[in-house]
């Protein structure tokens, strides 16, 4: 379960702190899915970064299965992110010099040695996203949609409890975006994890199901 309790966030600025999130609370049950929509600058990415333990809230707290990542030290927090959270960003952030398969497997190295079962799962995930025949290709040899599908497979490798997707289809055409969105929802459902997606895409939000809207850092009722 994901619990966001009265989270606020402000960033320091020359003229004093700038408030970005104001008293955001929400709960997501195990297996739950949520799309966060709202105008540019409304705080969607900031909220995802806080949920993922990348950015501390100014006040309030976030817990995933009862664990507050900001109660952990830096190493503990890194392990928390690596084991429990899968990130998919607008830009895939694949390693350009590594094959598609290596890109799926490499992040898992931070959690321990990659055994055969994990390597098999990585290959199977690449199959599932339609890239079984391209596992030896470098990101530069793949299309934008294909790279984003590699990023989805990478995020799902360790069956994270929570997948955070920030504009995962933002750079894709409508058709390709719909395919990636379908895969994301389907694969997260198979692992039993939760999904939170920040997006401007009505099509992605509809696939995710429940939609909440942020306006000027406030979650609308
Ligand atoms: N590190 C930072 N320092 C200062 N201000 C920041 C920082 N990160 C975000 N902001 C500000 O917080 C506000 C919300 O940004 P955020 O990226 O969360 O919006 P968003 O809803 O994801 O927008 P978009 O739809 O364009 O992706 C913006 O005004 C932004 O300038
Ligand atoms: Mg954003």
**Which domains can be identified in the chain, with CATH numbers?**
29-56+67-219 (3.40.50.300)
Span from the CA of 37 to the centroid of ligand 1 (angstroms): 14
Q: What is the DSSP string of 157-204?
A: TT--SEEEEESTTTTS-HHHHHHHHHHHHHHHHHHT-EEEEE-S-HHH
Query: Could you tell me the pLDDT band of residue 92, with boundaries at 50, 70 and 90?
Result: confident
In three-state secondary structure terms, 87 is strand
Query: Could you tell me the pLDDT band of residue 46, with boundaries at 50, 70 and 90?
Result: very high
pLDDT computed for residue 3 by the predictor: 98
Run of H or E including 105:
helix 100-105
20 lines ligand 1 (CB under 6 A): yes
41 lines ligand 1 (CB under 6 A): yes
**Is the per-residue pLDDT at 220 higher than 90?**
yes
Residue recorded with tokens 């408030």? 19
199 lines ligand 1 (CB under 6 A): no
- Please give the Cα distance from 121 to 144 (Å, whole number): 23
Which pTM value belongs to this model?
A: 0.95
The 10s digit of each residue's pLDDT in 159-188 is 999 999 999 998 888 998 999 899 999 999
- Please give the Cα distance from 105 to 195 (Å, whole number): 21
- Cα 57 to chain centroid distance, Å, stands at 18
Cβ contact 32:26 at 8 Å: no
- Please give the Cα distance from 45 to 38 (Å, whole number): 11
Query: Could you tell me the pLDDT band of residue 110, with boundaries at 50, 70 and 90?
Result: confident
**Is the per-residue pLDDT at 143 higher than 90?**
yes
- Choosing from 9, 10, 11, 204 the residue with most ligand 1 atoms within 8 A of its CB, the one to mutate for a pocket test is 11
């Amino acid at each position: 379960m994901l619990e966001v309790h009265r989270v606020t966030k402000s960033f320091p600025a020359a003229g004093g702190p700038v408030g970005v999130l104001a008293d955001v609370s929400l709960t997501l049950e195990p297996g739950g899915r949520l799309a966060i929509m709202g105008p540019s600058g409304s705080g969607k990415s900031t909220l995802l970064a806080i949920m993922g333990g990348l950015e501390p809230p100014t006040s309030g707290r976030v817990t995933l299965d009862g664990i507050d990542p900001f109660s952990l030290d830096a190493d503990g927090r890194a392990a928390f992110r690596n084991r429990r959270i899968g990130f998919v960003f607008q830009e895939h952030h694949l390693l350009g010099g590594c094959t598609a398969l290596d890109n799926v497997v490499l992040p898992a190295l931070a959690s321990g040695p990659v055994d055969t079962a994990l390597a098999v799962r990585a290959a199977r995930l690449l199959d599932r996203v339609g890239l079984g025949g391209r596992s030896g290709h470098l990101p530069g040899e793949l299309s934008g949609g294909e790279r984003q599908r590699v990023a989805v497979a990478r995020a799902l490798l360790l069956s994270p409890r929570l997948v955070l997707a920030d504009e995962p289809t933002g750079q894709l055409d409508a058709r390709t975006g719909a395919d990636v969105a379908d895969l994301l929802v389907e694969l997260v459902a198979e692992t039993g994890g939760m999904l939170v997606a920040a997006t401007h895409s009505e099509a992605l939000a509809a696939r995710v199901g429940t939609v909440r809207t942020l306006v000027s850092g406030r979650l609308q009722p």
